[in-house]
Amino acid sequence: MSVQKNDFSKWYIDTIQKADLMDYTPVRGCIAFKPDGYELWERIQAEMDRRFKETGHRNAYFPMLIPESFFQKEKDHIEGFSPELPWVTEAAGEQLEERLALRPTSETMIGHLYSDWIKSYRDLPVLINQWANVFRWEKKTLPFIRTSEFLWQEGHTAHVDEEDARKETMQMLQIYKEVVEDLLAIPVYDGQKTPSERFAGAVDTYSIEAMMKDGKAVQAGTSHYLGTKFAEAFDIKYLNKENKHVHVHTTSWGTSTRLIGAMIMVHGDEQGLVLPPKMAPTQVVLIPVGPWKKKPEIIEKLDEVFAELKAKGIRVKLDDSDQSPGYKFNEWELKGVPVRIELGPRDLENGQALMKARDAEEKEAVSLEQLVASIENELTVMQTRLLEKAKQFREENSHTHIDTMEQLKNHIEEAQAAGNVPGWILSGWCGEDACEEQVKEETKFTTRNIPFNPPAEKKVCVNCGNEAKHSVWFGRAY
Amino acid sequence: MSVQKNDFSKWYIDTIQKADLMDYTPVRGCIAFKPDGYELWERIQAEMDRRFKETGHRNAYFPMLIPESFFQKEKDHIEGFSPELPWVTEAAGEQLEERLALRPTSETMIGHLYSDWIKSYRDLPVLINQWANVFRWEKKTLPFIRTSEFLWQEGHTAHVDEEDARKETMQMLQIYKEVVEDLLAIPVYDGQKTPSERFAGAVDTYSIEAMMKDGKAVQAGTSHYLGTKFAEAFDIKYLNKENKHVHVHTTSWGTSTRLIGAMIMVHGDEQGLVLPPKMAPTQVVLIPVGPWKKKPEIIEKLDEVFAELKAKGIRVKLDDSDQSPGYKFNEWELKGVPVRIELGPRDLENGQALMKARDAEEKEAVSLEQLVASIENELTVMQTRLLEKAKQFREENSHTHIDTMEQLKNHIEEAQAAGNVPGWILSGWCGEDACEEQVKEETKFTTRNIPFNPPAEKKVCVNCGNEAKHSVWFGRAY
Ligand SMILES: [Zn+2]
Ligand SMILES: [Zn+2]
């Protein structure tokens, strides 16, 4: 196992492979999601889907192949995506007349169809979501975080006016924030992207941004107000109450399997994965220890606890394999199982078991009568504790005292020299693309977002020193 | 609306479009699943997924793009699928060194990975399922039934020996049968495919076959015993208990969005869709009638019923729009809503409402006190009734008295002349490909399957008159 502190990337790759979450494949940048990895996605899906439906959205499915001509209709969109598109050029032994792109996102196909589906104000809002695979042929890939094919959901909604569309954009961003914080125990900053970081074709892009343990940022979800740009490109108009044909206002919003990668990079430690209890495929593992084979009461007791936990809907495993306890401990820690219970002859005599939370230093003795209740409680407490720990890490590595490029460079150098993570910097920004670009060139820090609730008010642009229009998070990003 | 009896295909297309289940797209053979269509798939998914997990399977996800060289490894497989493959030849502005196929099915990619994942008998069985989009560039397409892109699940399992693999193959076929009969109310014959109809690369293929209202067959699910063919092609071996490296035995099994089409063709009628209650996005619609706007008690009562049904988990809608009752009746019948409730001033005075089951001729007066209970009961009864009706239709159109090609041709001619459906024929078959081929050429009837429980024992081959090895279902197929 690689040491997390020394080489975070290597630690990450080692961890997800050893924990059996994924495997590489011979197709460039495409991974296989193994069952323990895919189950993480299923939990994210279930919770997101529930929230989407609660807020009136329905799922649909659109073709994966998109005609080249569709991309040409919105010029920002094609500019942004064309460098990354894979193309189908032949099928069933024949050359196609028009190349078909593997969808990188579906605004164009959906825009084309919405122009047929939407006729009157009575048809609005259209609130549709799609669960799908998408493709972006990127140069550098990293499992879960950036892959040529990935899984995601993409919401596509159409509204009578800007106000309604902007409300939707914000509502979905807030749902993302809640799910990512509550389920994945990842604290995020919600805010607005700068123009240079906008989705190709958006009027405004909003994001939630999370800090990994190496201090880098992962954009964990985005929500776009698209204005009438796609409505104009695809002629999506409706007859309003005043009997006029006007363009709809559209939104789109997405989260993807990169959330799995973010969760691992936020909570993982030197021993491997650390899974928030709500996410863990296995929440509790029961392990007999000592000369337990000579004492059948031990397995009997564990069987009983197993059945009780199961009945409560807790995902539990009993590891009665022939491996040594030490081997088992390592194995289950690597897989990030939140709670481990050990029971040996001595424990049984004392009417207790040992409980070890994955993120705790010490084991805890728990009376057998209280065991099930204690486990339940620990699962709840740990979920919150992981979020709090991640928040604390983020606060420790968020810096608001930097006002100039020189200070920024010094900060990064000093952090690197000391073996610390440079983290994120909240700095002032005048609003000029050029200043943003300059920071990126000199430090590799990019703007993450303009947080809705910045922890400080910054007054001057970190690059030009002019008056700041915004306080912006800067950081290295995945 | 087209008349079902006169032009079944046109009726089908009209119905699914008017009921808002799908839309055509500019990509050949690719449809968009609109929310009411996609929700049908979500219900099938939920039930299948539950059963797969109950039987120890887990989901995973594999790359959609498959290198050309993978297909070459199993010769039957490439022969079967190569005429239908779309190919990615360029990506991100560059020609690929090797063409990548859009998966038509994933045996090859999964075989490649299983050869890494499986090392010892302790790793077996591997029980994995994938929910995914797949591509088959077919000449003739029909929404839901046969599309260039479709959605499906594909199970891929690996076992220590033939016995275990064959048990799995049968288990999954039985799960398909149960779900299709219980959820979709479609009766099916389970049986074995003849060699000419086998999956490309299978040792044995089993299917469930359903009869549509035009008498044609839809293959509603297949389960394959693949022997060691893919294990040999992809070198999937394990160390057995005797310390020898031997090939695994694999299976694969799939059902797809064509089940949606089958359900519509089995239950639909001249008024449009007829949805089994377990499948219907909306199970009950409440409609105020007469001068209801002058009597607020009517909407009050319907609101109350609405809330009670909702609390019981019944999917209910209240249609208080300004359209006429007749318009609303048509609309909701077209969409296949199982139960309609009408309440007008006269009804309210009499303490009753009118209930109309979608497949019933007559409305029924139900006392308001009993209304919710009656609706609940009707939903249960209707689910069973639709299955029974479909069974009855199938029995009426299944013929077991035909022993020669001449009789078969006469039967088909007479049915067509009388405007009846020719249905299915259970005939004897000697086991020779040539006889099967001859029947197909002369009648367009193909073998559906060799049913496990044939309704009769046929003694002579319908083509050559030699001794029959099997009693086989013949019919026109989608
Ligand atoms: Zn500036
Ligand atoms: Zn014969």
Contacts of A139 in chain B (CB under 8 A): 92
Q: Are B245 and B223 in contact (CB under 8 A)?
A: no
What's the mean pLDDT in B184-203? Answer: 97
pLDDT-wise least confident of A322-326, B23-27, B80-84: B80-84
Query: Is A61 close to B151, i.e. CB distance below 8 A?
Result: yes
Please give the model's pTM, rounded to 2 decimal places. Answer: 0.97
Q: Which chain A residue has the Cα nearest residue B81?
A: A92
How far, CA to CA in Å, does A478 sit from each of A188, A213, A299?
A: 15, 12, 46
What's the mean pLDDT in A448-464? Answer: 97
Query: Is A64 close to B38, i.e. CB distance below 8 A?
Result: no
Could you tell me which residues are beta bridge partners of residue B68? none
Query: Is B90 close to A90, i.e. CB distance below 8 A?
Result: no
Query: Is B91 close to A86, i.e. CB distance below 8 A?
Result: yes
Query: Is A62 close to B137, i.e. CB distance below 8 A?
Result: no
Query: Is B59 close to A39, i.e. CB distance below 8 A?
Result: yes
Q: What is d(CA A400, CA A397) in angstroms, rounded to the nearest whole number?
A: 10
* Residue A270: strand, helix, or coil: coil
How far, CA to CA in Å, does B387 sit from each of B12, B50, B173, B227, B410?
A: 20, 22, 19, 35, 30
Q: What is the band of A74 on the pLDDT scale with cuts at 50, 70, 90?
A: confident
Q: Is B122 exposed, middle or buried (0-12, 13-18, 19+ CB in 10 A)?
A: exposed
Tokens of B443: 């009648």
pLDDT tens for A252-307 read 999 999 999 999 999 999 999 999 999 999 999 999 999 999 999 999 999 999 99
The shortest C-alpha distance from A28 to chain B (Å) reads: 10
Distance from the alpha carbon of residue B417 to the mean position of ligand 1, in angstroms: 84
What's the mean pLDDT in A243-247? Answer: 97
Mean pLDDT, rounded, of chain B: 97
* Closest by CA position to A456, among listed A428, A430, A429: A428
Q: Are A214 and A265 in contact (CB under 8 A)?
A: yes
Interhelix angle A371-396/A296-311, rounded to 10 degrees, is 70
Q: Which segments of A419-471 does DSSP mark as H helices, in order?
A: 433-443
pLDDT tens for B75-93 read 888 888 989 999 999 999 9
Q: Which chain B residue has the Cα nearest residue A83?
A: B92
Query: Is B87 close to A88, i.e. CB distance below 8 A?
Result: yes
Q: What is the DSSP string of B37-89?
A: HHHHHHHHHHHHHHHHHHTT-EE-B--SEEEHHHHHTSHHHHHHHGGG-EEEE
Distance from the alpha carbon of residue B445 to the mean position of ligand 2, in angstroms: 15
The shortest C-alpha distance from A161 to chain B (Å) reads: 23
pLDDT tens for A112-138 read 999 999 999 999 999 999 999 999 998
CB contacts < 8 A, A to B, total 143
- Fill in the DSSP letter of residue A272: B
Could you tell me which residues are beta bridge partners of residue B425? B399, B474
The partner residue sitting opposite A32, judged by closest CB among B39, B61, B90, is B61
pLDDT tens for B416-453 read 999 999 999 999 999 999 999 999 999 999 999 999 99
Q: Quick one: what percent of chain B has pLDDT higher than 90?
A: 96
Distance from the alpha carbon of residue B199 to the mean position of ligand 2, in angstroms: 22
What's the mean pLDDT in A199-215? Answer: 97
- Cα atoms found within 13 Å of the Cα of residue A121, Cβ hemisphere only: 11
What's the mean pLDDT in A33-37? Answer: 98
Distance from the alpha carbon of residue A433 to the mean position of ligand 1, in angstroms: 8
In a mutational test of the A interface, the residue from B49, B88, B147, B310 whose CB has the highest number of chain A CBs within 10 Å is: B88
Contacts of B73 in chain A (CB under 8 A): none
Q: Which chain A residue has the Cα nearest residue B83?
A: A92
Distance from the alpha carbon of residue B477 to the mean position of ligand 2, in angstroms: 21
SS (H, E, C) A114-175: HHHHCCEHHHCCEEEEEEEEEECCCCCCECCCECCEEEEEEEEEEECCHHHHHHHHHHHHHH
Q: What is the band of A32 on the pLDDT scale with cuts at 50, 70, 90?
A: very high
Q: Is the pLDDT of residue A384 over 70?
A: yes
The partner residue sitting opposite A84, judged by closest CB among B59, B92, B133, is B92
Ligand that lies nearest to the alpha carbon of residue A470, given by its number in the listed order: 1
Q: What is the band of A6 on the pLDDT scale with cuts at 50, 70, 90?
A: confident
Contacts of A85 in chain B (CB under 8 A): 91-92
Ligand that lies nearest to the alpha carbon of residue A439, given by its number in the listed order: 1
Task: Name the residue with tokens 């050429």.
Answer: B441
Q: What is the band of A456 on the pLDDT scale with cuts at 50, 70, 90?
A: very high
Task: Name the residue with tokens 């929310």.
Answer: B35
- Cα atoms found within 13 Å of the Cα of residue B419, Cβ hemisphere only: 5
Q: Are A319 and A328 in contact (CB under 8 A)?
A: yes
In a mutational test of the B interface, the residue from A88, A119, A138 whose CB has the highest number of chain B CBs within 10 Å is: A88
Contacts of A62 in chain B (CB under 8 A): 25, 32-33
Q: What is the band of A5 on the pLDDT scale with cuts at 50, 70, 90?
A: confident
Q: What is the band of A314 on the pLDDT scale with cuts at 50, 70, 90?
A: very high
Q: Are B435 and B407 in contact (CB under 8 A)?
A: no
The partner residue sitting opposite B60, judged by closest CB among A27, A32, A93, is A32
Predicted pLDDT of residue B1: 64
Q: Is the pLDDT of residue A436 over 70?
A: yes
What's the mean pLDDT in B36-62? Answer: 98
Query: Is A25 close to B61, i.e. CB distance below 8 A?
Result: no
Query: Is A58 close to B38, i.e. CB distance below 8 A?
Result: yes
Q: Is the pLDDT of residue A1 over 80?
A: no
Tokens of B282: 């909306």
Contacts of A113 in chain B (CB under 8 A): 23, 25, 32
Mean pLDDT, rounded, of chain A: 97
**CA pseudo-torsion sign B453, B458, B463, B468:** positive
Predicted pLDDT of residue B5: 83
The shortest C-alpha distance from A79 to chain B (Å) reads: 12
Query: Is A31 close to B64, i.e. CB distance below 8 A?
Result: no
Q: Quick one: what percent of chain A has pLDDT higher than 70?
A: 100
* Residue A387: strand, helix, or coil: helix
pLDDT tens for A153-180 read 999 999 999 999 999 999 999 999 999 9
Distance from the alpha carbon of residue A217 to the mean position of ligand 1, in angstroms: 22
Is the ipTM above a cut-off of 0.85?
Answer: yes
Q: What is the band of B318 on the pLDDT scale with cuts at 50, 70, 90?
A: very high
pLDDT tens for B248-278 read 999 999 999 999 999 999 999 999 999 999 9
Query: Is A67 close to B137, i.e. CB distance below 8 A?
Result: no
Q: Are A181 and A188 in contact (CB under 8 A)?
A: yes
* Residue A146 neighbours by CB distance under 10 Å: 18
pLDDT tens for B116-160 read 999 999 999 999 999 999 999 988 999 999 999 999 999 999 999
What's the mean pLDDT in A330-354? Answer: 97
* Residue B460 neighbours by CB distance under 10 Å: 16
Q: Which chain B residue has the Cα nearest residue A24?
A: B113
Q: Is the pLDDT of residue B458 over 90?
A: yes
